[in-house]
Amino acid sequence: MSLFVSTDFNPPEALQTTAFYFTPLNEQVVELDFTAVMSSVPQLKGIFAPKPDWPKADMTLEENRQSLAQHGAEFNEKKAFAYAILNPKKTRCLGSVYIDPGVNNEFDSEITFWLRNDSQELNNTLRLCILHWLAEHWPFERVRLISTKYQASFSL
């Protein structure tokens, strides 16, 4: 099995723009993430194919903590990379972006992102931000971009 990223690749620890702050999705942002997820349960149902029942309407903060611990472990092992999308002041989680291996040889990576219901006006800004970030800081050539509002494939 080939590696998702090379062993010497160091994933970005953060991204700061005028609209967003990306930080690894881990236990340090559990409360902010939990609020964002629970505000958007209906729209998130089914966008993550391996977990079609996520998020459960009665998910607890502890269940979210366990999920974020798993994301943190995958990040550290360079198996997948998940980021919380915060506002620039880092006081509110707006959503998340997940950078996963491509499911077949057609794509190097599949990127899934979502924004909470009350931040949908930022969807296009976020999409463009992610594409620029991928082109500048990630080792991928062909990506599939998926969100609750958008799906496309790109060569970077």
Q: Give the CB-side neighbour count of residue 127, counting CA atoms within 13 A.
A: 16
Residue 47 has what pLDDT? 72
Task: Please answer whether residues 100 and 113 qualify as being in contact, where contact means their C-beta atoms are separated by less than 8 angstroms.
Answer: no
- On whether the CB atoms of residues 36 and 94 are closer than 8 A, the answer is yes
Query: pLDDT (tens digit, 0 to 9) for every residue of the chain, 156 residues total?
Result: 457 899 899 999 999 999 999 999 999 999 999 999 999 988 887 776 556 677 888 999 999 999 999 999 999 999 999 999 999 999 999 999 999 998 888 899 999 999 999 999 999 999 999 999 999 999 999 998 887 665 555 565
In sequence order, the β-bridge partners of residue 151 are 146
pLDDT of residue 154: 54
Q: What is the DSSP letter of 56?
A: P
35, 29 in Cβ contact below 8 A?
no
Q: In the prediction, which pLDDT does 1 show?
A: 45
Q: SS3 for 121?
A: helix
* Count of Cβ atoms closer than 10 Å to residue 69 Cβ: 13
As a whole number of angstroms, the distance between CA 75 and CA 29 comes to 15
> The pTM is what?
0.91
> What are φ and ψ of residue 9, in 5° steps?
-75, 130
Cα–Cα dist 108/13, whole Å: 20
pLDDT attached to residue 45: 78
User: What is the pLDDT, as a whole number, of residue 59?
Assistant: 93
Q: What interhelical angle do 30-38 and 61-76 show, nearest 10?
A: 120
DSSP H or E stretch at residue 153: strand 151-155
Q: What is the dihedral of CA 62, 44, 151, 33, to 10 degrees?
A: -40
The pLDDT of residue 44 is: 84
